[in-house]
Amino acid sequence: MDDIIELRGLAAGYGATPVISGVDFRVQPGEFVGIVGPSGSGKTTLLRTLLGAVRIMGGSAHVDGKVVGRGSRPSVGYVPQLETIDWNFPVTVEEVVLMGRAMDSGIWPWPRKADRRQMMELLERLGIAAFRHTHIRNLSGGQQQRVFLARALIRSPRLLLLDEPTSGVDIKTRDDVLHLLVDLNRDGVTVLLSTHEINAVAAHLPRVLCINHGVIADGPPRDVFTPETLKRTYGGDMVVVHQNGLTLVADTPHIFDLEGRVLEHRHVSEDAAVR
Amino acid sequence: MSFFTEPLAFEFFRRALLAATLVGGLTGLVGVFVVLRRMSYIGHGMSHAVFGGAVVGYVAGINFYVAAGIWGFISALLINQTTRRQQIAADAAIGIVTTASFAVGVAIISRARSITQNFDAALFGNLLAVTETDLLVIAAVFTFTIIVVFFSYKQLLFLTFDPDVAPVYGVRAGWLDSLFALVLAATIIASIRIMGVTLIAASLVIPPVIARLVTDRFAYMLFVSTGLGALLGFFGLFMSYEFDIASGASIVLLSAAAFAAVLAVVLIREWTRTGRLSIGNRSIGSAEREAMLD
């Protein structure tokens, strides 16, 4: 099967200096991949490069069989970081979702019946149909995430890119969003998301890519999340625990005495697997 | 009733009234995008830049619209190029280019004091200065703007709301930005006779801000802002005649009073509903997400 994403020796960035370089990365249709890495490591740059929004300085990038950055528009849905959204902007849920069809629904300013019908189907599937006329700010974090997911899905994309979809939401909402993405992935949508939630990636995703201006490791979370890899990715010591089939990553703990004084800041240099 | 009937007896007033109503509607419509795209300062700066072109054109004997149009377009390009290189922040670039342009006009007027009187209208607006040609230009710009907004509505909405993502979905951001810059420059030039250079920015900002206070929907905001701008232009011009003050000043003062009244109503309604003096999500200029951070 042809790869839906194929990056060969990719270097990309803003200005003169590349943010990411030497990136070799392939994704097959139907995969679900998480990208993790420290702030500023190039996660967003990598996603935006796939969208053709960042200058490619070296290597090549193909998405859905098309060369990125040559005017082609592959079938990609994109959900940006919600922190970038102006929540005071006067738009309702349905107006935001229909933006996803802005370039494909004719010259008239009103939406076509087919687009409206597709929007309603999506809103019902995502459980936010009752909020279609609601202003986007008057929604919970999970509902807001679903609105932007619906905007991406209304294009019926083969590939869905999400930039930190679980950022700033509570643990229940995070779990809901990730289960929703797993369901979409089961329906055949290839999903690539960036996140800081290492444990959520380990719990929900079959494949993870660690990056820090380049690819550090790529594979199943259980193989990739080792203290060595995480140290190379984040530059710090972390504890990795395997228990009951789960992989859990934790900060190096401070050990306190009964009075709350720090006795030890435990640095772990080797796999501290607990089985 | 003489407040309304007396000035209507004069042809110059009827002409100016139509111009002020159209200008109010035009600036109300364009202002929605100006405000939501955080371009208020550009509107303010562009009006000052155009003044320089108007003065140079007057001295050189060139038609006002040609001189102001070319000057405004060059100013817009200079601002665009300066900010695109990302060496200088957008507000600094606007400050440099537009005030330098304004200074050119002031310098020329200082050298030739005989033309000072002619530019009072350009600075503060003067209903006596409106000609048939002005009326035609305003109508043409308004028609052009409505056509642009109508046929680019979905793309403009997307680009205004989410300028980073819209190009990813195929919206031609560069082309639309250039088109909007052209509309903005044309709006400012067409409005100068009525509003004056120094007061155009207020007419671009106040109607959309009032409209935002009363609606949560973008499409409604366009209609409310356009209609409100036209009404404020209409009644502002009667005030201009009645109290013998510059047309730009009377329209802006009436707009400010309307804003204060609507804000008061919204605040009182919110206070009776929630017990808090707040305008809720209807602020403009703030993108923080308190709800997410709770």
A84 touching chain B per CB within 8 A? yes
Query: Are B169 and A107 inside 8 Å of each other by CB?
Result: no
Q: What is the pLDDT of residues B173-232, one digit of tens each?
A: 888 988 888 898 889 888 887 888 778 888 899 999 999 999 989 999 999 999 999 999
Residue B253: the pLDDT is 93
Measured between alpha carbons, how far is A247 from A236 in angstroms, rounded to an integer? 18
Measured between alpha carbons, how far is B252 from B247 in angstroms, rounded to an integer? 9
Residue labelled with tokens 């990813």: B168
Q: What is the pLDDT of residues B132-151, one digit of tens each?
A: 888 999 999 999 999 999 99
Query: Are A88 and B284 inside 8 Å of each other by CB?
Result: yes
Pairing of strands A5-14, A55-63: antiparallel
Domains and CATH numbers, chain A: 1-75+158-235 (3.40.50.300), 85-156 (no CATH)
A74 touching chain B per CB within 8 A? no
Q: What share of chain A is helix, strand, coil (3-state, %, to 5)?
A: 30, 30, 40
Measured between alpha carbons, how far is A174 from A164 in angstroms, rounded to an integer? 11
Summary mean pLDDT of chain A: 86
Q: Which of B168, B220, B285 faces A51 most closely, judged by CB atoms?
A: B168
Residue with the bigger pLDDT between A272 and B189: it is B189
Residue B202 near residue B189 (C-beta atoms within 8 A): no
Q: What is the rounded average pLDDT of the residues B5-31?
A: 91
Residue with the bigger pLDDT between A1 and A88: it is A88
To the nearest whole Å, the CA of A170 is away from the closest chain B CA by: 9
Measured between alpha carbons, how far is B172 from B144 in angstroms, rounded to an integer? 19
Residue B85: the pLDDT is 58
Size of chain A in residues? 275
Sequence-distant (6+) residues with CB within 8 A of B157 are: A91, A95, A99, A102, B218
Helices H / strands E in chain B, number of each: 13, 0
Residue A162 near residue A181 (C-beta atoms within 8 A): yes
Summary mean pLDDT of chain B: 83
Whether B280 shows a pLDDT value over 60: the answer reads: yes
Residue B63: the pLDDT is 85
Residue with the bigger pLDDT between A69 and A129: it is A129
ipTM rounded to 2 decimals? 0.83
Residue B283: the pLDDT is 61
Chain B CA closest to residue A109: B153
Q: What is the pLDDT of residues A6-44, one digit of tens each?
A: 999 999 998 788 999 999 999 999 999 999 999 989 999
- As a whole-number percent, the residues of chain A with pLDDT over 90 amount to 41
Residue B109 pLDDT grade (very low, low, confident, very high; cuts 50, 70, 90) = confident
CATH code 3.90.340.10 for B2-293? no
Query: Are B151 and A109 inside 8 Å of each other by CB?
Result: yes
Phi-psi region of B96 (alpha: psi -120 to 50; beta: other; left: phi over 0): alpha
Residue A192: the pLDDT is 94
Residue A213: the pLDDT is 92
Range with the poorest average pLDDT among A1-5, A211-215, A266-270, B241-245:
A266-270
Helix, strand or coil for residue A14?
Answer: strand
Listed by start position, the domains of chain B span 2-293
Q: What is the pLDDT of residues B38-81, one digit of tens each?
A: 877 777 788 888 888 888 888 888 888 888 888 887 887 777 66
Measured between alpha carbons, how far is B287 from B163 in angstroms, rounded to an integer? 14
